[in-house]
Structure 1
Amino acid sequence: MSATPSSKLPPFDPRDPLGLDDLLTDEDRAVRDTVRQWTADRVLPHIAQWYEDGELPGIRELARELGAIGALGMSLTGYGCAGASAVQYGLACLELEAADSGIRSLVSVQGSLAMYAIWRFGSEEHKRQWLPRMAAGEVIGCFGLTEPDHGSDPAGMRTYAKRDGSDWVLNGRKMWITNGSVAGVAVVWAQTDDGIRGFVVPTDTLGFTAPEITHKWSLRASVTSELVLDDVRLPAAAVLPEAKGLRGPLGCLSHARYGIVWGSMGAARTCFETALDYARTREQFGRPIGGFQLTQAKLADMAVELHKGILLAHHLGMRMDAGRLRPEQISFGKLNNVREAIEICRTARTILGANGISLEYPVMRHATNLESVLTYEGTVEMHQLVLGKALTGGLDAFR
């Protein structure tokens, strides 16, 4: 078969060099464009100031707007959720994080952690009580797993739930909890006499407090809190009936990590496109710096890793939609894409020179945000060991 004449080929698009847009359906593109337009209208004009101020003002209004476009719990079905495909959810995460990782974290924790836990493991009463309002953004949720002394090893958690008659009484602390101080409901994981269980905790319950964590240099446009549970008394119905042991929270984390595989590429895309535009217009030695070999080498390497990462994310999304995506494959994506996204951001910073550290450009903001994304939902080391165990046929190097 002869090659296609160059006169009939589509033009080369520097922002889509592999033509990955051809992989998307019209519905996929409609979802992507809706979220992209929302971020352009509601986030991008303000995000630099929010980041500099270390706050996310109007978070409840933003949540309701995200609910209105179907972005909250969008891959779940029923109970007011959009029932979107995994690929469409991933595209939404990419567009949200192209604006800011904190905005994507708001959506991920709401939909992939708090809502998913209730949808997957909750009772019918839990689902009817919480999911429609969470999908609409009327109630914000959080997910309490990480503790001050137990991050990568959740099996060692100290938060404890003890039976008292027909009630449960919870005591303990959770740390680094996105949405915590603005949440109306928390999904909290605790040790019990029968192993780890999950609990649906209305945040107005006596003994529950969520002091906000400040002095962050990453994810500054995001609400991060501690959860303090001091004799929090819950009825027997508060327990998630279908979640027993660590498989419950780890299943939720897999769902959230999948969104990160896409989202990290959004941050990388913004930094790459910023560097590309800058290289075309910034002049040194009498011509644009994009005309120098070293700059072109950087741009080429960034483009290769960015679009390989998007291609990987799309492949994993197709596997998830087919019911064939394994947790080890999600670890593969999270490990690769976040690591490469940080490198793309750092390389973009070098192209911008001193301007790269200014909030007039998005590069340093994305680079510092990704330092958190690299750690949460499983550190680099944890995902390396997940893959290592799978590659070696089950040899466990965690302990």
Structure 2
Amino acid sequence: MAESTSTRSKRRVDDRSPERGLGGTFSAPRTLVPALLAAIAYVDPGNFGVNISSGAQHGYALVWVVVFASCSAMVIQYLAAKLGMVTGMSLAEHSARRFPGIGRILLWTQAEIVVIMTDLAEIVGGAIALHLLFGLPLMWGAVAVTAFSLVVLYLKVHGRSHFESVVLVLLAVIIGSLVWQVLIADVDRVALLHSMAPGPLDSSAALLAVGIVGATVMPHALHFHSAASRARDDGTVEPSQTERMRIGRHTVRSVVVAMSVAGVANVSLVVFSAALPAEAGASIETAYAALGAQAGQIAATMLAVALLASGLASTLVGVQTGDVVMTGFGKRPIPALVRRMLAVVPTLIILGVGVEPTNALIWSQVVLSFALPGTLIPLLLFTHDRRLMGRMANHRLTTVVAWLITAVIVGLVGFLLVSGGA
């Protein structure tokens, strides 16, 4: 008996799932794996730079900012995943379609700046880790990380990349290493608990707070997650409304799990750094040296390993994100090598002119904070549009919470400008 059209369609949806090769069920990996992959953006080297500086220089004072950013990420990443899951199109594709002409150019430019700043954090972080572990000069380390991303891009183009599996293993290395640092650190639990409540910020703390927000609520993660959550990639298979609602419920749980994992990593960075002397916050290298002197060389090496895993994993996600942004806004195929080189060349130039690496990491995250509203606002408009999202359009409460998060982020950026921290 011939298969029905609905049976064939459902099989194609399942078979085309990007997580099919991981051996999981339809309900869990389809939403959990993209969420965990997006979580890599929340533990990239930029997070290492701002969170280590925050902990060493201000103790637990900015833990509340990390918690706020992590909770905000749960809401925002859910919206990005929902957009791709319901419509089958990425955030970049929707932006290009909804805002043609000069609007598309401006949003595309903003998205490309986001990709460049993200690549800056990834490559610089990986270069610092290679320098700490093997004494490799920073420029050569940056070239090595760039070469790694090009190899991955080549394998992806030729269909031989185990992208998801490699990233998830690297994520496990990052989380395990950072949690272990907290377990061996001298933690003031009472002070840590009190730090969950918001407190006043001076100009120095404001700069780091904005950097934390930019490092945690990552604009490029929204582009990536919207694309990774698409139920189809050829525009021919349309999931049923019931299936969308079911996947939507799984998406909520998956995003909460993934963002909680990333939140634990970010809080861990601040917590163990708070036990270091204030001067250790000057750079990742000084934190590495202080950690070695205080907790032993094994602890310092574990930090460098976590940083390297973060740089490599986020580079993999960055390769995917650059593809999503250029394809979505460009509306036409762009050679993969050209896409990648346009993103990484500015980073190599910045390192080549001698910019201090950790400062470059922190400022890259500040730039991401400034760019975040330009990614958030279109996402909120799209997911609130009932004509586009149907029954999956944002609930009124979701809309209010998302706009409040956006307002707080814009307020932090404005406070940074007014306080003179920028």
- Output the TM-score relative to the length of structure 1: 0.28
The structure with higher relative contact order (CA 8 Å, sep 6+) is: 2
Larger radius of gyration: 1
Whichever structure has more strand as a proportion of its residues is 1
User: What is the TM-score when the length of structure 2 is the normalising length?
Assistant: 0.27
